[in-house]
Structure 1
Amino acid sequence: MTDQTTEQKVADAERAALQLAQCSEAERNRALEAIADAIEAHSEEILAANAEDVEEAERMLEQGEYTQALVDRLTLSESKLASIAEMVRSVAAQDDPLGETLEARRLDDGLELYKRAVPIGVIGTVFESRPDALVQIAALSLKSGNSVILKGGSEASESNRVLYDIIVEATSDLPEGWAQLIEAREDVDTLLGMDESVDLLMPRGSSEFVRYIQDNTKIPVLGHTEGVCHVYVDDDADLEMAAEVAHDAKVQYPAACNAAETLLIHESVAEEFVPEIVDRYEETGVEMRGDTRVREIADMDAASDEDWSTEYGDLIISLKIVDSLVDAVDHVNTYGSKHTDSIITEDADAASVFMQGIDSASVFHNASTRFSDGYRFGLGAEVGISTGKIHARGPVGLAGLTTYQYFLEGDGQIVASYSGENAREYIHEDFDGEWTPGRLAGPTIEQ
């Protein structure tokens, strides 16, 4: 860590971004492997720093300031560090997102247009509680050739500092300043005003937090908000499968944004299914809140209107009986957060109606919502899950951290040749080809 101002850190990141974009895939992959090795080699140091954060978080939990879900997200372990290192290596193993020719079009003989994937530039990220998010975001930014400004929550400050220092030391061969760490709240406000230097902001937190970022900056924002995710058990569901999926979606890791918060059940299977899933949830300590019809079948607290739009992030779930598939779709679109929702059914037509009718980034059929994840999607990792519709949607991996440029290779052509008498005509013919500089160098064609 240095005593640089936020403005100086952003300026350094901006310079580094131009150089990092020119680094080869091999250079970027070697740096990622070095990060993974360094995390493993410094595991004791990382865990010691994390223990300080967790101790303070548990004190805040006792005072009612923090939730158990936050403490769970904050806590690292040997196995968690091993998973983090594996994640970094999986990012290195992904195909290079840069330099790919997305489209090639021949405008005329000797005039070829190439649309190529390039880095976005300088990415600013603000995230909470999970120190592994710092490594994920840094790894994906590096692989995609972007500089990154990292701002974690104060609850993970010790963990974040150690991880950041390890990453910087492991990547000393890369352009200096490609990764920066800011810590104070006023640093975030400074960052929000640097729209001429920062190309994209990616906040991870509550809707209120993301909205604050959006309302206080001119920088494009790729928002990652809460996950109010649903599982809907249809009237033609395999109920044994439904119980397994509904249990996994809530219990496997309840603090995750892709954990289910509401279970919808078709009225025709409710009498059979509700007692079964209630038993499963009770065995694993899940607190349930049900609507009137659910509570006629099983004893539990009443769900309020607020419950339907709440991300618990804990072992709590709301249950509701619906009359039809249409009612289920309407409930999800009304109360959901456009994150991830799943239907359990053996009816392909019902699955089609649900999946095409739900306005969420990810919609599943006969699968747990917990699969909504960059690593599980084969993206290597993710910087977050975007619930918006512009630029990137769902788990944002490498492709979501790139943009494109148009490269035009000509041989002296001028626009005047394509107008007036004896005007040349455009071909506008797509072809398979990769851009290489100067590929059309040679005699000028007749104009």
Structure 2
Amino acid sequence: MSRSALSPSAVPDPGVPDPSPELLQRALAVRRSATALGQLGDRQRRAAVKALADGLERQRGLILAANRADLEAAGADGLAPALVARLKLDATKLDAAITGVRQVAALPDPLGRRQLHTELDQGLVLERITVPLGVLGVIFEARPDAVMQIASLAIRSGNGALLKGGREASQSCAAIVDALRAGLAGSAVEPSALELLTSRQESLALLRLDGLVDLIIPRGSNALVRFIQDNTRIPVLGHADGVCHLYVDRQVDVDQALAVAIDAKTQYPAACNAIETLLVHEAIAPVFLPMAVAAFSAAGVDLRGDAAARSLGVSGIAGEDDWRTEYSDLILAVRVVASLHQALEHIASYGSRHTDAICTTDPRAADRFLAAVDSAGVYLNCSTRFADGFRYGFGAEVGISTQTLPPRGPVGLEGLVTYRYRLRGEGHIAADYASGERRFSHRPLPL
């Protein structure tokens, strides 16, 4: 199964176009603005993020009108329901996004943190300091609210951003970026730190901007993410699949587990952190599944089960492909398992390392599940829908990473910085240490 990862070794398809001179100039402008942005202090960057929120507030009417136009076009084009749900930006959703931007402004500064401080020898002192990545290239489908999240995190962490939304969200994205840049116009950050790409040709050419773009973050379908991973030399951060599981153990609070299951599937089925497979221990299945079938049916969920699940009321048939499918819809695969071990084996075989949960009252089963499941998020007695940067207190997220190397899970400010080693000396030369004339002390100093 494909796993998402930082993948700078991909060989681009010859069909991916080189950037045009005009796109190169715009990318260079973002790069220059990002360099200046990364040297600003905490107070200036914090004020700039607040200015982003103010800009959104001032132009909220234009943003909502642009989104309504996109939704009308989506209806005419027959856009899939899951994409329409992600595309919709009503007043409530916009208010939540603006609140998220203000929360990002209030977060501690991720830059200039000293992670290591060592005296290598007298007068020769080494530091490791957090610094911005540089320029982010973000490609996303039908998620206009992603523009606000990404822009706020980028500016707060000292990074510029090239943003490319899907065609279906073109008017919404343009209105949002106009509002964001208008907000920055009164701050210490140059509006050119944020740039919106508008054509498919530009989004493809973005993959060729190695040297100008430091990280690409795709947010969209499996096909989109995999295409990007396969066609750029720029590191890619994201996830290709969101096949999340909930396992209901033999010892469980049935009512609690049912509430968690319903929320994890139906609260927002188009989200990548909604469950796609429900695993139920055979000892509790005769009690739990009839209740679950009734509750899920009332919520409009299409259940597809194995033979054991169908004998307990699940009507649809689950095939092999169902265990590995991210439906992003009101469809749920159900399997009855003989043991916790079998549940763990199923998740290891079919999961995408996104978010998986267990409902149990057995502390030993809980501890084993939390230790054994190799996912970015592993939960006990709560909905997988909590896998979200806003809910984690990050203010927002640029995406969710399912790679094993960090950053992992919802990626907020901490995932958008790297570090730099700084060494201060007084004429020290390596030859003195090679000859044995001087020796390293490697004495830790206070951070």
TM tier, smaller: over 0.9
**Partner of 1:355 in structure 2?**
370
Summarize deviations over 1:227-259 as a string: whole Å, max 9, x none.
110000011121111111111101111111100
**Partner of 2:443 in structure 1?**
429
* C-alpha distance in 2 between matches for 1:160 and 1:104: 43
**Partner of 2:270 in structure 1?**
255
**Partner of 1:160 in structure 2?**
173
* C-alpha distance in 1 between matches for 2:99 and 2:239: 24
Is the contact between residue 205 and residue 226 of structure 1 (CA under 8 Å) also seen in structure 2?
no
* C-alpha distance in 2 between matches for 1:279 and 1:195: 53
- Kindly indicate whether residue 106 of structure 2 is the aligned counterpart of residue 93 of structure 1: yes
Report SS of the residue matched to 2:138: strand
Task: Map 1:400-411 to 2 at 5 A.
Answer: 400-411=415-426
* C-alpha distance in 1 between matches for 2:314 and 2:283: 19
* C-alpha distance in 1 between matches for 2:254 and 2:406: 38
Q: How large is the RMSD of aligned CA atoms in angstroms? A: 1.4
Out of 264-273 and 386-395, give the one that drifted further. Answer: 386-395
Letter in 2 for 1:328: A
Report SS of the residue matched to 2:192: coil
Task: Map 1:47-126 to 2 at 5 A.
Answer: 47-61=64-78, 66-126=79-139
- Kindly indicate whether residue 32 of structure 2 is the aligned counterpart of residue 15 of structure 1: yes
**Partner of 1:440 in structure 2?**
none
Offset of residue 4 of structure 1: 8.3
* C-alpha distance in 2 between matches for 1:381 and 1:94: 11
Is the contact between residue 272 and residue 328 of structure 2 (CA under 8 Å) also seen in structure 1?
yes
* C-alpha distance in 2 between matches for 1:228 and 1:237: 23
**Partner of 2:51 in structure 1?**
34
- Kindly indicate whether residue 144 of structure 2 is the aligned counterpart of residue 128 of structure 1: no
Task: Provide the TM-score with structure 2 as the length reference.
Answer: 0.93
Summarize deviations over 1:371-390 as a string: whole Å, max 9, x none.
11111111121000001123
Report SS of the residue matched to 1:257: coil
Summarize deviations over 1:246-278 as a string: whole Å, max 9, x none.
111011111111001111000000000001111
Ranges in structure 2 where 5+ consecutive residues have no aligned partner = 1-19
Is the contact between residue 358 and residue 381 of structure 2 (CA under 8 Å) also seen in structure 1?
yes
Is the contact between residue 214 and residue 234 of structure 2 (CA under 8 Å) also seen in structure 1?
yes
Offset of residue 207 of structure 1: 2.4
Offset of residue 36 of structure 1: 1.2
Offset of residue 206 of structure 1: 2.3
Is the contact between residue 304 and residue 314 of structure 2 (CA under 8 Å) also seen in structure 1?
no
2:288 to 263, 266, 273: 273
Is the contact between residue 303 and residue 314 of structure 2 (CA under 8 Å) also seen in structure 1?
no
* C-alpha distance in 2 between matches for 1:151 and 1:34: 22
Letter in 1 for 2:438: R
Letter in 2 for 1:402: V
Is the contact between residue 46 and residue 162 of structure 1 (CA under 8 Å) also seen in structure 2?
yes
Task: Provide the TM-score with structure 1 as the length reference.
Answer: 0.93
2:202 to 155, 177, 187: 187
1:200 to 190, 208, 215: 215
Is the contact between residue 40 and residue 81 of structure 1 (CA under 8 Å) also seen in structure 2?
no
Is the contact between residue 357 and residue 382 of structure 2 (CA under 8 Å) also seen in structure 1?
yes
Is the contact between residue 225 and residue 386 of structure 1 (CA under 8 Å) also seen in structure 2?
no
1:221 to 228, 236, 242: 236
Summarize deviations over 1:141-174 as a string: whole Å, max 9, x none.
0100001000000000000000001101110231
- Ranked by relative contact order (alpha carbons within 8 Å, sequence separation 6 or more), the top structure is 2
Letter in 1 for 2:95: A
Ranges in structure 1 where 5+ consecutive residues have no aligned partner = 434-447
- Kindly indicate whether residue 141 of structure 2 is the aligned counterpart of residue 143 of structure 1: no
Report SS of the residue matched to 2:288: helix
Letter in 2 for 1:12: A
Out of 14-23 and 353-362, give the one that drifted further. Answer: 353-362
% identical equivalent positions: 46
**Partner of 1:288 in structure 2?**
303
- Kindly indicate whether residue 329 of structure 2 is the aligned counterpart of residue 340 of structure 1: no
Is the contact between residue 28 and residue 212 of structure 2 (CA under 8 Å) also seen in structure 1?
yes
* C-alpha distance in 2 between matches for 1:89 and 1:243: 35
**Partner of 1:45 in structure 2?**
62
Letter in 1 for 2:443: E
Q: How many residues align?
A: 426
Offset of residue 351 of structure 1: 1.6
**Partner of 1:442 in structure 2?**
none
* C-alpha distance in 1 between matches for 2:385 and 2:371: 20
Offset of residue 176 of structure 1: 4.3
Offset of residue 44 of structure 1: 1.3
Is the contact between residue 137 and residue 383 of structure 1 (CA under 8 Å) also seen in structure 2?
yes
Is the contact between residue 141 and residue 221 of structure 2 (CA under 8 Å) also seen in structure 1?
no
Letter in 2 for 1:425: R
Report SS of the residue matched to 1:11: helix
* C-alpha distance in 2 between matches for 1:4 and 1:134: 25
2:252 to 231, 237, 246: 237
Is the contact between residue 202 and residue 224 of structure 1 (CA under 8 Å) also seen in structure 2?
no
Report SS of the residue matched to 1:268: coil
Summarize deviations over 1:14-37 as a string: whole Å, max 9, x none.
111110101111111111111212
Summarize deviations over 1:107-154 as a string: whole Å, max 9, x none.
112211110000000110100101000111111001000010000000
* C-alpha distance in 2 between matches for 1:37 and 1:419: 58
